[in-house]
Each structure stands twice: as C-alpha cells, then as structure tokens.
C-alpha cells in the first residue's frame, strides 16, 4: 500500500465501526475495521476517520493503527470541541483529493445529509443500513443520487451485511435450484433481550430514539434483507401490529406482521427487542417451506479450522425420490446441512471497492432502492395497525 494510492475514510467511530457486533449472544457480525483487516491489501488504505467528538475520532484512529498494522495513523476529523471552519472538520476531510471512498456509519437520522455532502464532494459512498430513517426520505435521497451523482460515475451502495452473507446467498441459490420445490410459505423470528446497561443501548443516538421503530428499524432491516435474498419474489402486501412494552426501548419494541408476495406465497415476520429473558424460547432464524421440503437457516457457533466461529447453519429437509416397497409414511426424507462462516461486512466492503474499480462480474449488492424495501417492510409493520399496506406503492419497482 503506497501512501499516494487513493484511500478510504471512515465516518463514524461508533461501536459498529470497530467491534464485533454482539447485541446478544446470537447476533454477531464482523465490523468495518476487522473486515478491512481481513481484506488487507485488496482494500485501499485507511487515510482518515471522522467522528462528532475529537476524542472518539482519536480513540478510533489509535485503535485502527493496531488493528490494521498501519505505518502511519489515519488523520482525525471532528466537529467538537469548537471546530468551526478548521482544517480538521468534515469539510476538510471531504476536500482531500487523496480520499476517494467513504464508509459511513453515522447515526440513522444524520446519515442522509452526510451521504449527500459526500457525493457532492465527488466521493464514492458505502453507507450503513438503513438507507434512510423513513421511506419518504429514502426516496428523495435515491432520486437525487440517480439524477445527479450516478451519471457522474459515483458509486453509492448500502452496507447491509445480511444481504451479503454467504449463508443466505447459498441458501437462496438452493431455493432457486428447486431444492424445496416451489416456495409456499415462510416464517422469520427474532427474539432480543436488551437491558438498560447494554453498550448498544447506551450509544447516545439509541437512548434518544428520534427515528421510527428504534431498534426495530436498526436491527429489523437485517431480517427483511435476509428475506429479500432468500425468497423467490418481492414482498407485496403487509398487515401487522406494533407495540412497546419496555419503555426504555420507545417508540416500539415488538412487531408482528403477515406478509404476502405476488399471490404465490406468504409468511410471518416477528421481531421483538423486549424479551423478558436472555434465554430464547425458540431459535432465531428463518424457515422457508416449499412444495417438496423446507429450508431453515439459523446463526450458530461452530468449529472452523479448529477455531470457534459464528456461522449461519442451513438445513434442507425434503421429500426424497419415491422408494419402491415403502409407503408414504416410511419414505426417506433426505437432510442436507451446510454452514457458512459469518463474513457479510467483509463481502460488502470488497464488493464496494470492486464496484469503484468497475470490475466485471462483481457481486451486485447494496442497491439503495432494494435496501429501501427493507425500510418499507419495517415502516409498514410499525404503522399498519392491522390495515393492509401495499409495499410496492411505498417503494415502486423502479424510480
Ligand atoms: C407492558 O405490559 C404490561 C402488561 O400488559 C403493562 O402493565 C405495562 O404497562 C406495559 N409496559 C408499557 C411500557 O406499556
């Protein structure tokens, strides 16, 4: 990595940027710095970090030097204390010609404006999910990108690690190949226990929930992104109920929704952050059922190359070929199990850098309009109150 090579900056020095995400024992992803470390030479050098506070930016920069074995520390940019019109504010970072790509992991409500500032400064952008706090804001953002910045060749992708997860992508391929026949229904279940002392709860922008759904939006889009990857058609209609039981998780902590695709299949989405216990009553995950079998996918701990690793475990149980001499009740039902280590953040970063280099045949993920469909499902579930919501009316097939 030479220092003249065009580099990347990370905006947002929060937990997700540097740590393994562990909302609870079974929700874990790799974060940006560990993922950059795994990509090593195939990623551009980290040249700058920005955070609202000087201290967190500096801590983050120090952390990244060790984690990425950097020869020189990334430059530090921040807003406070008192940093108006200085050479270390965000505008100064955006003015640097040697930084061509930004990874943005800022609070949900501040992110859309900063994405626009970054694009206006001519940067390629990978911004953390959700694409926007509401469908309406997302549509404005995407239209602006499509009309003004996309024609200039700027890449903007949404970092949605579940969409990138090899476990989900391989499961989806099995479904497309007909491993369970034609999909007829599905279920998706997420139980979270969040106490007030949780470090995820304590991040300032989560304790002051100024966006719809709170954790349900922030975490729920992972679940809807996984459904988007797994299911063979778009989700079209939704009805549901939302509620709050742990007041510190306001505005909502639980949703239950029924969702239908284009008439072919339907299913359920249940997400709660208000589980009273740490122990889950049922395993989190997905079951997709088809005419010839079912596929389940759950997160689990496994041993890969002698090391305990978090994986997605996929199980396919199907109706086998008819065996002569056996009646239906004794026919064999073959089971296939495979596991894929969790590496969505690494995959999404690699795909972003390859998109910037205009490589051929790269993984097409992180499309902003597709990511907005994930927001639409959560928004619909939060607002439906039992009424039927047309998801395609919320986010059209194309803009
Ligand atoms: C949670 O549910 C219980 C039982 O219905 C109720 O007493 C309590 O007020 C609820 N909490 C909130 C914040 O609504």
CATH number of 21's domain: 3.40.50.720
pLDDT tens digits for range 46-68? 999 999 889 889 988 988 888 88
Judgement on whether residues 121 and 226 belong to the same structural domain of the protein: no
Considering only CA atoms, which residue is closest to atom 11 of ligand 1? 245
List pocket residues of ligand 1, CB cut-off 6 Å.
244-245, 247
Judgement on whether residues 381 and 260 belong to the same structural domain of the protein: yes
Quote the number of domains for the chain: 2
pLDDT tens digits for range 98-127? 999 999 999 889 999 999 999 999 999 999
Q: Which residue has the higher pLDDT, 399 or 175?
A: 175
Residue-averaged pLDDT of the chain:
89
> Is residue 369 in some structural domain?
no
CA distance 60 to 52: 12
Query: Token digits for 28?
Result: 């874990």
**pLDDT confidence bin for 209, thresholds 50/70/90:** low
* Ordered DSSP codes for 67-116: HTT-SSPPEEEEEETT-TTSTTSHHHHHT-TTEEEEEE---TTTHHHHHH
Judgement on whether residues 157 and 168 belong to the same structural domain of the protein: no
217 C-alpha to ligand 1 centroid (Å):
21
Q: What angle in degrees, to the nearest 10, is found between the helix axes of 215-230 and 368-383?
A: 120
- What pLDDT is stored for residue 321 in this prediction? 85
Dihedrals phi, psi of 193, to nearest 5 degrees: -115, 120
| DSSP E strands, the chain | 7-11, 21-22, 28-29, 46-53, 75-80, 99-104, 124-128, 156-159, 183-191, 237-243, 254-260, 266-272, 285-290, 293-304, 307-318, 335-341, 389-390
Q: Give the CA distances from residue 269 to residues 168, 240, 250, in Å, rounded to whole numbers and listed in that order.
A: 17, 9, 20
Does the pLDDT at position 37 exceed 90? no
Judgement on whether residues 89 and 31 belong to the same structural domain of the protein: yes
245 C-alpha to ligand 1 centroid (Å):
5
| 30, 341 Cβ separation under 8 angstroms | no
Q: What atom of ligand 1 comes closest to residue 243's alpha carbon?
A: 14
278 C-alpha to ligand 1 centroid (Å):
19
Choose one of 194, 242, 245 to mutate for the ligand 1 pocket test, by most ligand atoms within 8 angstroms of C-beta: 245
Eight-state DSSP code of residue 193: B
Judgement on whether residues 202 and 255 belong to the same structural domain of the protein: yes
Predicted TM-score of the model (pTM): 0.92
243 C-alpha to ligand 1 centroid (Å):
10
Q: What atom of ligand 1 comes closest to residue 247's alpha carbon?
A: 13
CA distance 318 to 89: 58
247 C-alpha to ligand 1 centroid (Å):
8
| 77, 101 Cβ separation under 8 angstroms | no
Does the pLDDT at position 3 exceed 80? no
**pLDDT confidence bin for 85, thresholds 50/70/90:** low
Considering only CA atoms, which residue is closest to atom 10 of ligand 1? 245
Does the pLDDT at position 205 exceed 70? no
Does the pLDDT at position 23 exceed 90? no
Judgement on whether residues 107 and 147 belong to the same structural domain of the protein: yes
| 11, 104 Cβ separation under 8 angstroms | yes
| 146, 115 Cβ separation under 8 angstroms | no
Q: What is the mean pLDDT of residues 141-167?
A: 97
- What pLDDT is stored for residue 250 in this prediction? 87
- What pLDDT is stored for residue 15 in this prediction? 60
Q: What atom of ligand 1 comes closest to residue 250's alpha carbon?
A: 13
Domain boundaries, position 386: 163-341+374-394
269 C-alpha to ligand 1 centroid (Å):
22
Query: Which residues does 82 contact at the CB level (< 8 Å), separation at least 6?
Result: none
Q: Which one, of 274, 275, 223, lies nearest residue 381 by Cα?
A: 223
Strand partners, 190: 271
- What pLDDT is stored for residue 27 in this prediction? 33
DSSP strand pairing (389-390 vs 335-341): unpaired
**pLDDT confidence bin for 364, thresholds 50/70/90:** very high
Considering only CA atoms, which residue is closest to atom 14 of ligand 1? 245
């Amino acid at each position: 990595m030479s220092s003249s090579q065009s580099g990347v900056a990370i905006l947002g020095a929060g937990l997700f940027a540097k740590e393994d995400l562990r909302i609870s024992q079974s929700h874990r992803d790799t974060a940006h710095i560990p993922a950059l470390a795994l990509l090593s030479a195939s990623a551009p050098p980290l040249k700058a970090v920005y955070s609202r506070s000087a201290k967190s930016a500096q801590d983050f920069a120090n952390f990244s030097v060790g984690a990425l074995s950097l020869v020189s520390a990334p430059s530090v940019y921040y807003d406070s204390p008192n940093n108006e019109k200085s050479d270390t504010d965000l505008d100064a970072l955006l003015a640097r010609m040697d930084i061509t790509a930004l990874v943005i992991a800022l609070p949900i409500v501040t992110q859309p404006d900063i994405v626009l500032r970054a694009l206006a400064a001519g940067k390629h952008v990978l911004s953390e999910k959700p694409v926007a706090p509401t469908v309406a804001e997302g549509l404005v953002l995407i239209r602006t990108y499509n009309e003004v910045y996309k024609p200039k060749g700027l890449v903007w992708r949404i970092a949605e690690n579940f969409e990138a997860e090899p476990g989900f992508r391989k499961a989806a391929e099995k479904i497309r190949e007909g491993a369970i026949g034609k999909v007829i229904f599905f279920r998706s279940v997420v139980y979270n226990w969040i106490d007030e002392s949780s470090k995820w709860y304590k991040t300032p922008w989560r304790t002051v929930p100024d966006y719809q759904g709170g954790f349900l939006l922030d975490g729920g889009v992972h679940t809807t992104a996984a459904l988007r990857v797994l299911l063979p058609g778009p989700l079209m209609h939704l009805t549901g109920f939302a509620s709050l039981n742990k007041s510190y998780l306001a505005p909502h902590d639980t949703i239950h929704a029924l969702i239908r695709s284009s008439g072919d299949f339907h299913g359920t989405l249940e997400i709660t952050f208000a589980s009273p216990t740490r122990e889950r009553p049922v395993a989190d995950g997905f079951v997709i059922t088809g005419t010839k079998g079912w596929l389940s996918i759950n997160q689990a701990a496994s041993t890969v190359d002698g090391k305990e690793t978090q994986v997605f475990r996929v199980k396919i149980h199907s109706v086998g070929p008819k065996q002569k001499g056996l009646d239906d009740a004794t026919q064999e039902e073959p089971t296939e199990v495979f596991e894929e280590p969790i590496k969505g953040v690494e995959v999404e970063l690699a795909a972003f850098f390859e998109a910037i280099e205009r490589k051929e045949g790269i993984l097409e993920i992180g499309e902003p309009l597709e990511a907005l469909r994930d927001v639409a499902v959560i928004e619909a579930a939060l607002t439906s109150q039992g009424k039927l919501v047309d998801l395609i009316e919320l986010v059209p097939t194309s803009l």
